[in-house]
Structure 1
Amino acid sequence: MSLTLNDTQLSTINTYGAAKNYPAMYSYIATEMKAGRIAGASSDQIYWFEQATKINAGDTSSPASVFIRAATVAGLAASGAPTDAAHIQNISNEIGAKVYTDILDIQAIPDFGRQLNADIRSGTDFGGMTIGGWGGAFYYWNEPYTLPDGTQTTVGEAIINNPDERSKFLNGMQEATKVTLQEFGLDLLDDPAFLPALITGLKNIGGSAA
């Protein structure tokens, strides 16, 4: 179900989106959701907007941003796609443009499933990776996902049921974890967002394997 926006919210989102200032757009939406002024948002959708703010801005002080970008590099490399910083930023901007366009089209925040699938398609269709290389798979493992042939499944099932995708996923998670640990070391223990996300991801994968 889409989330209703008032005229002020739509105007503010349009101001940021039209200027391609996606970090500001994401941050504004997350703030409005957390304050209850955009009603009905799930914790997963709020988390997406919070982290997308840092990822699109290239915030190297954010463990989540560093982790996702490292996983993205590994995923792109595994598919033979470009891995340079400009290409990764272009993928991130493509995601922002899709979020903005979808909001304009329906004058509301899209259903999270629709939003997440648009995120994935930016990485696959625009970026050149496959689902196993998508950086958000770890956290959004159990979310609905539509395969290219239209089959309805989940992110995790699409990865687990395909040996190539499973290999890409495991390699990406290993590489992203290594890069993040090298960058932040024990400071990760003090990060308020990274550890809960890590625990959620481990529970997701553990539940899938059970």
Structure 2
Amino acid sequence: MILFVFITNKGLDFDGFKQDAVQLQNTSNLIVRNILNDVIQSGGVNKIESILSKDIYAALERNNQTLDGWAGSIFYWNLRLDSGKYKGKTVGEVISDNPKDFVKNNTILKSTIDELSQKYGRMKVLIEAGDTIFRGSFVSRQFDLLISPIGRQ
């Protein structure tokens, strides 16, 4: 989990924005509020692609955070977005299509791994990063399978 906090902060720093713990928590609260309001209004749970496309991305943009600096980008790299201006593309394709965003994302990830490696040891950090990416792909697929009978299209 510490990996996500570091990546989020480095993404904001990269773009020249400083946010304290309260501001970061407000972004998280906004994301959750969007998701829960959507569930209440529609009577069902969106597919993970819709949650990312609509609710999370909107919250990130309103709080000076970008997809390429969002910690979830490594977790959901292969997730295909299903609405908005990036409909049909994966998170990774959106980031990779713009060289500046791709460099930013890689710079943030490398910097985070280097900094955490100095503090906790490189192997531990790389294992956590690899585990996070693997679980992201696995969990998003399992989530889709879990909600598919009741999920909205």
Give the TM-score of the pair, scaled to structure 1.
0.54
Task: Report the alpha carbon displacement of residue 200 of structure 1 after superposing the two structures with TM.
Answer: 6.2
User: 1:100 & 1:116 partners in 2: Cα distance?
Assistant: 13
User: 1:127 & 1:172 partners in 2: Cα distance?
Assistant: 18
| Aligned position for 1:121 | 58
| Aligned position for 1:11 | none
User: 1:91 & 1:79 partners in 2: Cα distance?
Assistant: 17
By relative contact order (CA 8 Å, sep 6+), the higher-ranking structure is: 2
Task: Report the alpha carbon displacement of residue 198 of structure 1 after superposing the two structures with TM.
Answer: 4.3
Identical positions, percent: 23
- Verify: 1:196 aligned to 2:136, yes or no: no
User: 1:135 & 1:141 partners in 2: Cα distance?
Assistant: 10
Give the TM-score of the pair, scaled to structure 2.
0.72
* Counterpart contact for 2:114–2:122, Cα < 8 Å: no
Letter in 1 for 2:65: M
CA deviations over 1:34-71 (Å, ceiling 9, x no partner):
xxxxxxxxxxxxxxxxxxxxxxxxxxxxxxx2111111
CA deviations over 1:146-200 (Å, ceiling 9, x no partner):
68645531111111110110111011111222343344337838x8x75422456
Cα pair distance change 1:100/1:147, threshold 3 Å? closer
Instruction: Summarize the alignment of residues 78-157 of structure 1 with structure 2, pairs less than 5 Å apart.
Output: 78-117=14-53, 118-123=55-60, 125-145=61-81, 149=85, 151-157=87-93
Cα pair distance change 1:158/1:73, threshold 3 Å? same
Bigger radius of gyration, 1 or 2? 1
* Structure (1 or 2) with the greater helix fraction: 2
Q: Any unmatched runs of 5+ in structure 1?
A: 1-64, 202-210
Q: How many residues align?
A: 134
* Counterpart contact for 2:80–2:90, Cα < 8 Å: yes
User: 1:156 & 1:182 partners in 2: Cα distance?
Assistant: 27
* Counterpart contact for 2:8–2:70, Cα < 8 Å: yes
